[in-house]
Structure 1
C-alpha cells in the first residue's frame, strides 16, 4: 500500500467527517478530524503491537501488566497493577494468572494479610519486557517519522491538554 501524499485527496478520517457532515449539516463535526485521528492511530498502533507480540505468546494487555511491574522498584499489589494499567480488577487477575502459569511473573501472598497478592517479574518476564519494549518504541518512532523535535513537543502538549479534558470529565 502506497503512503498517502499530503494534499493527495481525503484520507479515511476526512471521508468519514465529510459523510457525517452530509448527514448532519447543522452539526459541527470538526472534532472528528482530531478525535477520529487519535482513535484511528490508536487502533492501528495497537493492532501493529499485537502482531509484533504474537511470537512471544502474550497480548498487549498482558504486556501492559509486565510493563507495570518492570517499571516498579518493588512488587506491586494486584490492585496497584489495575490502577497503573487502567484494566479492570478481573482482567488483571486473569492476566496475572496466565502470566504466572507462563513463568513470567510470580504471585506471592503478603505475610501480614494473606488476602493481598503481590506480583513481580521473573527473570523470564524481565527478559521479555527488555526484548519487546525497545521494539515498541522503535515502532512508535517510525509512526512519528517526518516530525521534528518542536513538532513532537507541540503535539505532545496539545494531546496532554485533550487528555486532561477527557480525564476531568470521566
Structure 2
C-alpha cells in the first residue's frame, strides 16, 4: 500500500491520479466514493479476519452465527444465504462445519421434511457474545473524528447508494 503521495491525499487519490494519467478521457470521479467504500470494506474485513483468529470460526462462519443470533427463530439455509450474501453452496459448507464444531444445530422443519432449519447453540451464542461487541468497537474506532451529525449524514448518503444496488429497493 503506497503511503500518502507527495502531492497529498490518500491511497484512493493516488489511484485516481494514476487512472487519470493513463486514461485521461475517462472521468474517474466515482472512484473517490466507490473506491473508498470498497477499500474501507476490505480493510474492515481484514481486521475482522485477524480478530477472529482465536475464535474458532472464519469471517463467513461468524456472519452465519450473527444472522442466526439476530433472528428470533431458527432460519432456513436459504434465509441465511440471503442474510449473509454468500452462495447456497457456501452456506451449506460452512453450516456443516459449524454443526460439527457445535456452534449450530440442524432442526427439522415441521411443515416440510425436506427443509432443515439452522439454530444457534449455546456455544455459538458464546462466540457471538464474545466477538460481536468487539466488532462494533472496531467499527466505532473507524468512525472516530466524525461527530454524530456527520455519522448520520454519512449513513443516510450510503443508504441511498445502497438503494441503487439492493434488490427490491
* TM-score higher than 0.5: yes
**Quick check: 1:100 aligned with 2:99?**
yes
Deviation for aligned residue 1:147:
0.3
Deviation for aligned residue 1:85:
1.2
**Quick check: 1:133 aligned with 2:132?**
yes
Deviation for aligned residue 1:98:
0.3
SS in structure 1 opposite 2:43?
helix
Deviation for aligned residue 1:83:
1.3
Deviation for aligned residue 1:168:
5.5
SS in structure 2 opposite 1:134?
helix
The equivalences for 1:21-170 within 5 A come to 21-167=20-166
- Distance in 2 between the 1:46 and 1:36 partners? 15
After superposition, give the CA deviation of every residue in 1:4-53 in whole Å (9 maximum; x if it has no partner): 7xxx8121100100000111112111111111100110010000001000
SS in structure 1 opposite 2:73?
coil
Structure 1: gaps spanning 5 or more residues = none
- Distance in 2 between the 1:87 and 1:10 partners? 34
Return the TM-score normalized by structure 1. 0.92
After superposition, give the CA deviation of every residue in 1:108-159 in whole Å (9 maximum; x if it has no partner): 2224422101100100101110110000000000000010000000000111
Q: Which is worse superposed, 147-156 or 8-17?
A: 8-17
The residue aligned with 1:11 is 10
Runs (4 or more) in structure 1 with deviation over 3 Å come to none
- Distance in 2 between the 1:143 and 1:110 partners? 41
Return the TM-score normalized by structure 2. 0.92
SS in structure 2 opposite 1:74?
coil
* Cα RMSD for the two superposed structures: 2.0
Structure 2: gaps spanning 5 or more residues = none
